Structure 1
Amino acid sequence: MPSAAVAQSYQFSSIEIDGNVRVDDSTILSVARIGVGQTVTAAQVSAAFGNLTASGLFESVELTPRGNSLLIEVVEYPVIGVVNFEGNRRIDDEVLAEAVQVRAGRVLSPNVIEADARAIAELYAQRGRTAAEVTPQILPRGNNRVDLAFVVREGDVVEIERLSFVGNRAFSSYRLRNVLNTKQAGILRRVIQRDTFVAERIALDRQLLSDFYLARGYIDFEILSVTPELARERDRFFLTFNLREGEQFRFGEVSVVSEVDGIDPADYERELRVRPGDIFAPSTLEMNIARMESLAESRGLRFIRAEPRFTRDNTNGRVDVEFAIVRGERIFVERIDIQGNTTTRDEVIRRQFRVAEGDPLNPRKIREAAERIRALGYFADSSVEPRAGSTPDQAIVDVEVEETTTGSLGFSVSYGAQQGIGFGISFAEQNFLGRGQQFAASFNTVKGSRDISVSFTEPALLGRDLAYSFSLGYRETSSFNANFDTREAFLNNSLGFPVSEYGRLTVRQGLLAEKLTGLQEFEADGVTRKDSLRLIDDQVGGTSITGTLGFTYTHDTRNRGVDPSRGWIFSWTQDLGVGNQNRRFLKSEARVGYEMAVLNENVTLKADGRVGLLHMIDGQSRYRDRFQLANVMRGFAAGDSGPRDFASAANDVLGGTRYAVVSLEAQFPLGLPEEYGLSGGVFADIGSVWGVDGINGRPITDINTSDGTSDSASRHLRATLGVSLFWDSPLGPLRFDVSRPLKKQPYDESQNFDFSIVSTF
């Protein structure tokens, strides 16, 4: 526009506009900010040119002064007719359409198109395809209209080829890689989704790594940098964490002082659960602060805070802690605002808080509530933040959540030569109707293992920490592991609640109706009987109805105590049963276990001892009530090991009324890349199942071996040694055991291989 600078000022008596079709003259003059008869400078004419160009309405603009008239010539951008996406197989068109700003019927804008291409590429990068390329293509259609296509070359998933750590001395890279949510690519790279590079995941990994070190006393731990490096071929990433570990600290002297009149610090010192020498960890501090503040609340004292004050001893790696009982700020919770929960009800989220509107604001309780909300598993993301309220002494707690899927539906078809074709369907929902309840139902038509069951759990009965569970079902089993078939219907109820910091009590009721079928007949004492007097009482005729009342108490400090690398578990279970044929019994089991991580937490050692006793108050025990050897010791075949009745046609296994087992186990890395999710273990079990009560008032005398040399119901010691392979598979943690009994009875059958889904108690 060279002519715009010829004169210093202009006064146009007329303005001519040419080339506009959709945009009217008044709109162009409004954008240009020049009017007829108005005196304008050369700079204002240049500004008008810039305004029209920046409006995004025109492909080209030309302003030409002609004496006392101005010619404005424009070429309008075409209108978009159709917006298409091509080459996208991994992401649906609907998802891409939501990510872009362009729409059919809008004016074409190169800047918007370029931004939309970048947005699509970013969407692919979030799914690990950082090599994706997006090319906009404009297809003229005439009449100043065009079609727009975003051509996508998705490329392969860009995986993390190597996860490295620099500066780690206390823990191996293998151990630290197990902490991270991100994983290295391995042989399962087509299945595992956490081995793709997602920049947003680094923030989570940084937090996990910091929590890991802080929980182990490394209070000066710092992540100096996280460096993602893309290979030259753009097909893989190398991710490096640069760390500064610092030294490990432990608790030194721990004391309590009071700065509030009328409060005796000795009362609060008795609430401490930490000793000098314990690992200095934030969780331990929080636990002791919570105990002291709870004591104050129980005494009606509001706004009392336990404030930790630290004195570091860098030479000895100790931190002396003085808990000061002080009066905190008088700030109340005005309200709790919850947003983002489209399915989950507000009450499910609100009950995770131990404070309500009108209560004193306690930052520690807000943090704990945030952790409980995340632990629900109902949300892909959540945040809990307090902010200023309507007055200086009020605070509003904002809760933002993002829902995620919590249900599953499964179908199955099976075929067996004897069973024929069978169908199965299962449904499970962890957040039933948004109430935080668990519901599951299954139906299986396979002959010999038909099953229909329904279960329901309310985790917060009456809005309290009371977990109520109910299950109802019918089940059939074939003679796969025994010389008989079973049909049973059951009804169970249970109620669980905490009784201490690490303790939980569950009380339960059960009702079982069971019938045994398929029993063989044989001659014994000149009488034709059903198979095994020890298995079934002829007077009962194979039918049993049993009602039970019981409880389980569990005290578990594993991964929750003052030292996250070790802990105890103790459990005690008792059930009082009453059945037909005047049967009354008390079944008791106890367990004591300890586990610890050694060698920089690369190896986990476990020791476990269990005992059980079935005491018949009246009547005689049944096969189902007794303990089975294969259920308490590894390496023995189910239904073919333990005390037997050698007077029966099939030398039936009876089970025992007592058992005692000690298990030792070690789990360790195999030296394989940890992205495979494989680790190894060795184990040893030693113990036995023994004891069988009399039948029809007659003591057991014919349970000797065929040569009459051994009473199979005696306390015969058995021992097993084995190796394990653990696999953290996409389907969940799996375990494979190969074992061999080192000591067993001649009539015991071995089971050298076993497969199971790993579960924790």
Structure 2
Amino acid sequence: MDDRGGARALDARDVITRMTTGLRATLLGGIGAVVIAGASQAQTFRFTEFEIQGNTRIEAATILTNLGVAPGQTVSAGQLNDGFQRLQGSGLFQRVEIIPQGGKLLILVDEFPTINRISIEGNARLSDEDLLTVVTSTPRRTYSPAQAERDAAAITDAYAASGRLATTVVPKIIERSGNRVDLVFEVAEGRVSEVERLSFVGNRAFSDRRLRRVLETSQAGIFRAIIGSDTFVADRIAFDQQLLRDFYLSRGYADFRVLSATPELAPSRDAFFVTFQVEEGQQFRFGEVSADSVLDVIDVPLYDSEIRVRPGDVFSPQAVERTIERLELLALREGLDFIRVTPRFSRNDRDLTIDVVFEVERGERIFVERIDIEGNATTLDRVIRRQFDTVEGDPFNPRAIRAAAERIRALDYFSQADVNARAGTAEGQVIVDVDVEEQPTGSLGFGINYSVEDGAGVALSFAETNFLGRGQTLNFTIDTGSQDTSSNITFVEPFFLNRDLAASFSLFYRETDDDDQSFDTRSIGVRPGLEFPTGEFSRLGVFYSLTEDTLNPNDTTQLSQILENDEGSNITSSFGYRFTYNTIGRGLDPTRGVRLRFGQEFAGLGGDAEFVKTTVEATGQRTIANEEITLRASFEGGILTSLGDTNSLQANRFFNGPRIIRGFESGGIGPRDLNADDDALGGNQYVAARFEALFPIGILPDEYGISGAAFVDMASVWGLDDTNGGPDGGQPVDDEFFLNSAVGFGILWDTQIGPLRFNFTSAINKRDFDREQNFDLTIQTRF
């Protein structure tokens, strides 16, 4: 019991105890006496008069209504007891007594006080506003100890949802004048209950380390003070079970089951030990895969040709779903409506294969009456509607509706998006309901980055992915370093002309001030473009670029003659295209994928440069050792061909960087004018090959987020239109092909303050004037 300003603070539990004691005494002294007294009268009563005492706010009529006894009515002792229980259970009174006095019934009541105000004390992690939303007690209403206890439990549950299971909440009242009380919830916040250990039982194909990377929940590591995913949340464990199922099913384990997910709370109540018991089963592969139909309008061989899965591929529900989509889209292209594709499975346990026949059949004639959208306060209806391939009046295709729902969720504009179909106003029609709950889509970031070569810098960024609710993207970034500054603003309309056509516009500015070079550069330009899909995994982009590049010498007596020809400002006006094909993380097999890029840029639409610039890149990636190790190989190259009598400009030539080859500085390989301050000149051609293996470091707990990498890089930059170097142009520059190479290992640390990578490299093949960089550290964090 506390003393606050002379008023008594009572624990609500004390009030309930007192009330229960009074109830027990009343029953013994009141109804018990009635029953005993009435035994000689066959336990019946008949009252012609009622006297009520103690009520100040509650009307007498309300009390008599709850009692349920009318004047002159003959009632039994049991009926009288029922009326007493109704009065006591109404929540209006702390104490109720009913005393029969012959033909008069005396009713004594002690009303509960009214709530003057409600406050929460001791809370720091959750605000008053958040906690008061779960409190059902209301000021200026009757105080109920039972309701206060329920409110305390709701506050405790709110803390439990944030991972603080040790929190206790005690409701107390402070008595005020006029039979009023202040209701105070005293909170003692406990520590966050973290997931100290995630373990698995029954897994043979994949290690605990690999399965932990699948889960949303993570183990508490060295950044436990700021990480959020290691906090125990019961609902998240259920989601983790679904993630495990999806992971195994996508890898052919058709019989996989999560037998149990058992969280055990430590005695200190600040840590959980979660154990998933799984049953993997066997891995299945596709057996015979074919299409079939009894419909005359279906050309079965044509549908067979649309199937991309092959016998021997790992069985995957995603591959089956994607095949169904391809076949139903083919039917639409053939002008056939109400065609449905149903997979028929035949399981072969002996050879661990599953045969699939995609049955093309006629579906029900059901049409979409309308699409109703609710919950989008900011996002325009058309942004959501364009995710549907179906419009009002089209044949209803459940699979197309589910695909639209996935596209709506993938927008990342909504914290929740539910898409359901219900019966329409007429037979054969359905209404599609879209219920969304919006979430913030803008971000403002301030960052710090560091690299050995460029030093420390700061970055400021603003990003809005749903600009003005139109689904448009607006990005603005400023990056500054010790030797360079860059800024960029980009606007993207993803559905230009109401088609799946992304229109973009970029304005950029870059400036370098490198102490190791005898010149500074500045570039400013604009780049509008269009991009659209050309296939399931491919896109084609076209663009126009207008750039002004300025080269200013720091010391004209040392500037290479090759660069002096580029001195001043030069305008490049060009257009080009780039084709991309990417299945990494998106293909039929989640353990492998490829990315192919091919692009060309044509300059000469005015300006000072005339050239054709061609680049190509091929990257392959796969996992081995039960997905513990990731292998990656990349090959790329480029050719800059000058047209007419022009020579290539420094701003348009190729320079190596960490993306091309590690172990050398940017501009550290390729043609260099040794007679003019060792200026890096760049080259008209380049090739590069990179091979890398990413693997866990077994001696370190995986919750630390530290992994290792080993790599081998090879690259060459060569070729100039003009090789007359030196300050006066009289010394030839070596621009011949030379293959540089380096080996190294890296430490990757995925921290909550940003990704860090440490690279330790040693050059294998280099020339005397090539510039090595044996160590590189990069860090970037945003807050």
- Please tell me the TM-score bracket, short chain as reference: over 0.9
Counterpart position of 2:679: 652
Match of 1:670 among 693, 697, 715: 697
Q: CA separation in 2, counterparts of 1:660 and 1:718? A: 10
The within-5 A match list for 1:225-374 is: 225-374=260-409
Post-superposition offset of 1:401: 2.4
Provide, for residues 359-404 of structure 1, a one-character-per-residue CA deviation record: whole Å limited to 9, x for no partner.
Answer: 2222222222222222222222332222333344222323232222
Q: Does 1:754 align with 2:776?
A: yes
Q: Tell me the amino acid that sits aligned with residue 406 of structure 1.
A: T
Task: Find the aligned partners of 2:560 and 2:693 in 1 and give their Cα distance.
Answer: 41
Pairwise CA distance, 1:228: 1.0
3-state SS of paired residue (2:296): coil
Distance 1:372 1:425, change over 3 A: same
Q: 759, 763, 774: which one pairs with 1:741?
A: 763
Structure 2 residue matching 1:115: 3-state secondary structure? helix
Inter-partner Cα distance in structure 2 for 1:182 and 1:284: 27
Kept in 2, the 8 Å contact 1:4–1:45? The answer is: no
Aligned partner of 1:729 in structure 2 is 751
Are the equivalent residues in 1 in contact too, given 2:669–2:717 (CA < 8 A)?
no
Aligned to 1:638: 666
Once residues 373 and 208 of structure 1 are traced to their aligned partners in structure 2, the CA distance between those partners, rounded to angstroms, is 20
Structure 1 residue 412 displacement after superposition: 7.4
Query: Of the candidates 129, 135, 158, which is equivalent to residue 170 of structure 2?
Result: 135
Q: Does residue 628 of structure 2 align to residue 602 of structure 1? A: yes
Secondary structure at 2:331's aligned position in 1? helix
What aligned pairs does 1:70-219 form with structure 2 within 5 A after superposition? 70-219=105-254
Provide the rounded CA distance (Å) in 1 between the counterparts of 2:255 and 2:481: 60
Alignment correspondent of 1:440: 475
- Between the aligned partners of 1:370 and 1:390, the Cα distance in structure 2 is 23
After TM superposition, give the deviation of residue 580 of structure 1 in Å: 6.7
Match of 2:610 in 1: 584
What is the match of residue 712 of structure 2? 684
Gaps of 5+ in 2: 1-30
Counterpart residue type for residue 545 of structure 1: I
Deviations 1:188-239 (A, max 9, x none): 1112100000111122211211111111011111111111111111110011
Q: CA deviation at 1:481?
A: 5.7
AA aligned to 2:322 is: M
CA change 1:47–1:186 in 2 (3 A) is same
Equivalent residue for 1:564? Answer: 590
Equivalent residues in 2 for 1:481-500 (5 A)?
482-500=517-535
CA distance in 2, matches of 1:279, 1:424: 44
Q: Give the Cα separation in 2 of the matches to 1:156 and 1:461.
A: 51
- Which residue of 2 is the match for residue 38 of structure 1? 73
* SS of aligned partner of 1:206: helix
**Are the structure 2 counterparts of residues 174 and 452 from structure 1 closer, same or farther at C-alpha, using a change threshold of 3 Å?**
closer
Answer yes or no: is the 8 Å Cα contact 2:561–2:726 preserved in 1: no
Aligned residue for 2:439?
A: 404
Match for 2:117: what amino acid?
A: V
What amino acid maps onto 1:741 in structure 2? A
Report the AA paired with residue 681 of structure 1.
Answer: A
Q: CA deviation at 1:570?
A: 1.1
Preserved CA contact (<8 Å) 1:614 1:658: yes
Q: How far has the Cα of 1:729 moved from its partner?
A: 2.5
Amino acid at match of 1:635: G
Is the Cα contact below 8 Å between 1:481 and 1:639 reproduced in 2?
A: no
Q: Which amino acid aligns with 1:689?
A: V
2:612 alignment partner AA: L
Partner residue in 1 for 2:688: 661
Q: What CA distance in whole angstroms lies between the structure 2 residues aligned with 1:396 and 1:738?
A: 61
Instruction: Determine helix, strand or coil for the equivalent of 2:254.
Output: coil
1:536 aligns with 564
| SS of residue matched to 1:179 | coil
Residue matched to 2:17: none
SS in 2 for 1:462: helix
User: CA-to-partner distance for each residue in 1:62-96, whole Å, 9 max, x for gaps?
Assistant: 11221111111111111111211111001111111
In the alignment, does 2:575 pair up with 1:549?
Answer: yes
1:575 aligns with 2:610: no
* 1:370 partner SS: helix
Distance 1:262 1:485 in 2: 69
Q: Distance in 2 between matches of 1:138 and 1:209?
A: 48
Deviations 1:480-528 (A, max 9, x none): 5633222322111111111011111111111111212244222xxxxxx
Residues in 2 aligned to 1:368 and 1:247: alpha-carbon distance in whole angstroms: 30
Cα 1:107–1:163 shift into 2, 3 Å: same
Q: Does 1:2 align with 2:37?
A: no
Task: Kindly state the Cα deviation for residue 441 of structure 1 after the two structures are TM-superposed.
Answer: 2.5
**Counterparts of 1:444 and 1:288 in 2: how far apart (Å)?**
45
**Cα RMSD after superposing both structures:** 2.6
| Unpaired runs of at least 5, structure 1 | 523-529, 695-699
How far, CA to CA, are the matches of 1:125 and 1:732 in structure 2?
28
Contact 1:644 1:703 in 2 (8 A): no
The one-letter code matched in structure 1 to 2:738 is H
Which deviates more, 670-679 or 151-160?
670-679
User: Is the 8 Å Cα contact of residues 79 and 144 (structure 1) preserved in structure 2?
Assistant: yes
Q: Per the alignment, do residues 571 and 481 of structure 1 end up closer, same or farther by CA in structure 2, a change over 3 Å counting?
A: farther
Secondary structure, in 3 states, of the residue corresponding to 1:50?
helix
Asked if 2 retains the 8 angstrom alpha-carbon contact of 1:536 and 1:622, the reply is no
Take 2:437 and 2:516, find their aligned partners in 1: how far apart are those partners?
Answer: 47
- Sort the Cα spacing of 1:550 and 1:536 in 2 relative to 1 into closer, same or farther, 3 A: farther
Q: Shift in Å at residue 562 of structure 1? A: 2.1
Distance 1:753 1:423, change over 3 A: closer
Task: Normalising by structure 1, report the TM-score.
Answer: 0.92
SS at match of 1:465: coil
3-state SS in 2 of match to 1:535: helix
TM-score, normalised by the number of residues in structure 2: 0.90
How far apart are the structure 1 equivalents of 2:195 and 2:206? 21
- Please give the alpha-carbon distance, in whole angstroms, between the structure 1 residues aligned to 2:448 and 2:708: 34
2:26 aligned residue: none
CA distance in 2, matches of 1:673, 1:402: 38
Superposed CA deviations along residues 96-153 of structure 1, whole A, max 9, x for unmatched, are 1111011221111111111111110111111111111111111212331111111111
Amino acid at match of 2:715: G
Quote the Cα distance in structure 1 between the aligned partners of 2:327 and 2:240. 33
- Residue deviations 1:26-56, cap 9 Å, x none? 1111222222233333232122111111211
Alignment length, in residue pairs? 737
Aligned partners of 1:212, 1:444: CA distance in 2, in Å?
39
Identical aligned residues as a percent: 47
Letter in 2 for 1:663: R
Structure-2 residue corresponding to 1:697: none
SS in 2 for 1:135: strand
- 2:761, 2:773 within 8 Å by CA — same for their partners in 1? yes
Call closer, same or farther: CA 1:164–1:446 in 2, change over 3 Å.
Answer: closer
Instruction: Give the Å deviation of 1:601.
Output: 0.5
Q: Deviations over 1:523-579 (max 9, x none)?
A: xxxxxxx71122231xx6411111121111011122222211011211101111227
Which residue of 2 is the match for residue 526 of structure 1?
Answer: none
Shift of 1:347: 2.0
Contact 2:654 2:683 in 1 (8 A): yes
CA contact (8 A) 1:545 1:579 kept: no
Deviates more, 1:351-360 or 1:164-173: 351-360
Is residue 2:649 matched to residue 1:622? yes
Aligned partner of 1:456 in structure 2 is 491
Q: SS of the residue aligned with 1:254?
A: strand
Counterparts in 2 of 1:234 and 1:493: CA distance versus 1, 3 Å = same
